[in-house]
Copies of this chain bind each other. A is one copy, B any other.
Amino acid sequence: MTAKEFTLGQLATRLGATLKGDSELLITGLATLQDAGAGQLSFLANAQYRKYLANTQAAAVLLTEADAEGFPGNALIVANPYLAYAELSHAFDRKPQGVVGVHPSALVAADASIDPTASIGAYAVIESGAQIAAGVTISAHCFVGARSVIGEGGWLAPRVTLYHDVRIGRNVVIQSGAVIGGEGFGFANEKGVWQKIAQIGGVLIGDNVEIGANTTVDRGALSDTVLGNGVKLDNQIMIAHNVQVGDNTAMAGCVGISGSTKIGKNCMIAGGVGMVGHIEVCDGVFVTGMTMVTRSITEPGSYSSGTAMQPANEWRKSAARIRQLDDMAKRLQQLEKQLAAVTSNGKASSDA
């Protein structure tokens, strides 16, 4: 693949930006204000980086009108430099495109339906009744189970597993190693022995969803596990059977959501959070990293658990004291009573 390059004028047109400076300047990449060098376009999206603007070596910078005033270099003036950067990032992406058509080594079931504009990679296996829509890329080593459906414009990295009966909307991106539709953890305990419960639901995934590397989304036990439109899941996340995630909710890496929990729309779940099963989290909730969510959340806002990091020798004392807390609380209460008695005695005696 040849390097990606554009003139500053071309990028201005693409963004609908106001160009200040040399429209013929060749831009070959993107970088931060601190790192940018010749040929690189940068952006100022956060006030705390404004200090780097004066000395940046960037060939040009994406700026708001206010920040562009007094900036002597080349600039593309836009309302939101971060969104403009997000958009241009795709122009400079060297991610290889899948070749349209079915690779000769791919195994596609006779009754699977593959749109002619889709790309099916090497050693991919597409099972009976699967449907792959227009513009979809199925990379090498992917497995698409029976009757699974992938909507227009989807992109599966190499080595993604979809079990049977997984239905995916449009423009969904799934990173390598993700497993969608695995059999959830359903067992009935019979005198100490676990009897398996077949997981006969599927998975239903909306449009514009992204699923990270090695993330697992289990199929439903009876009805479907559901990810709404615009849901973004980072790597190494575990979504158990019959979880429902509302539109545009984002989860960072290593989150675990237990079975049948229902999460609202526009939530942000930070890395390492765990949620127990069968609870509900309302719309607009932010849960900070590594929080243990053991009950439903009914009010939007930020929630946390855990303790702050300390040097280990101090932490050992804190941890020991936490185990004494109930005792401490009772002693505190006792002291309050005693002191009240002393004080009233004192008063009584001074009154006397």
Q: Given the interface contacts A157-B163, A194-B248, A256-B236, does A173 sit within 8 Å of B179 by beta carbon?
A: no
Q: Given the interface contacts A315-B305, A332-B332, A339-B342, does A163 sit within 8 Å of B185 by beta carbon?
A: no
User: Nearest B residue to A349 by beta-carbon distance?
Assistant: B350
> Which of chain B's residues have a CB closer than 8 A to the CB of A276?
271, 289
- Interface stretch (choices A8-16, A60-68, A70-78, A292-300): A292-300
> Which of chain B's residues have a CB closer than 8 A to the CB of A309?
291-295, 303-305
> Which of chain B's residues have a CB closer than 8 A to the CB of A303?
309-312, 315
User: Nearest B residue to A295 by beta-carbon distance?
Assistant: B309
Contact A176 B179 (CB under 8 A): yes
Give which listed residue, B143, B274, B295, contacts A159 with CB less than 8 A.
Answer: B143
Q: Given the interface contacts A140-B125, A238-B253, A312-B304, does A230 sit within 8 Å of B323 by beta carbon?
A: no
Contact B232 A210 (CB under 8 A): no
* Further contacts, 14 of them, CB under 8 A, given A89-B186, A93-B198, A218-B235: A35-B222, A82-B188, A87-B195, A96-B145, A125-B141, A177-B214, A179-B235, A185-B250, A216-B235, A271-B274, A276-B289, A318-B325, A335-B335, A339-B339
Contact A326 B331 (CB under 8 A): no
Contact B305 A307 (CB under 8 A): yes
Give 27 pairs: A residue, B residue, CB < 8 Å, sorted on A: A35-B222, A86-B197, A89-B199, A92-B198, A95-B183, A95-B198, A107-B123, A123-B125, A175-B182, A177-B214, A177-B216, A185-B212, A185-B250, A194-B210, A216-B235, A254-B274, A292-B307, A292-B308, A294-B308, A301-B311, A303-B312, A304-B310, A308-B320, A308-B322, A310-B323, A324-B329, A349-B350
> Which of chain B's residues have a CB closer than 8 A to the CB of A107?
105, 122-123
Contact B223 A187 (CB under 8 A): no
Contact B183 A175 (CB under 8 A): yes
In angstroms, Cα B314 to Cα A302, docked, is 10
Tell me how many chains of this kind the complex includes: 3
Contact B165 A157 (CB under 8 A): no
> Which of chain B's residues have a CB closer than 8 A to the CB of A208?
193
Contact B322 A197 (CB under 8 A): no
Q: Given the interface contacts A83-B190, A322-B318, does A92 sit within 8 Å of B185 by beta carbon?
A: no
Q: Is A23's CB within 8 Å of the partner chain B? A: no
A281-296: which residues lie under 8 A (CB-CB) from chain B? 286, 288-295
* Minimum C-beta distance from A155 to chain B (A): 10
User: Nearest B residue to A171 by beta-carbon distance?
Assistant: B196
* Minimum C-beta distance from A217 to chain B (A): 9
Contact B161 A158 (CB under 8 A): yes
User: Nearest B residue to A232 by beta-carbon distance?
Assistant: B194
> Which of chain B's residues have a CB closer than 8 A to the CB of A1?
128, 146
> Which of chain B's residues have a CB closer than 8 A to the CB of A175?
179, 182-183
Give which listed residue, B139, B179, B223, B306, contacts A305 with CB less than 8 A.
Answer: B306
In angstroms, Cα B212 to Cα A179, docked, is 10
* Minimum C-beta distance from A226 to chain B (A): 13
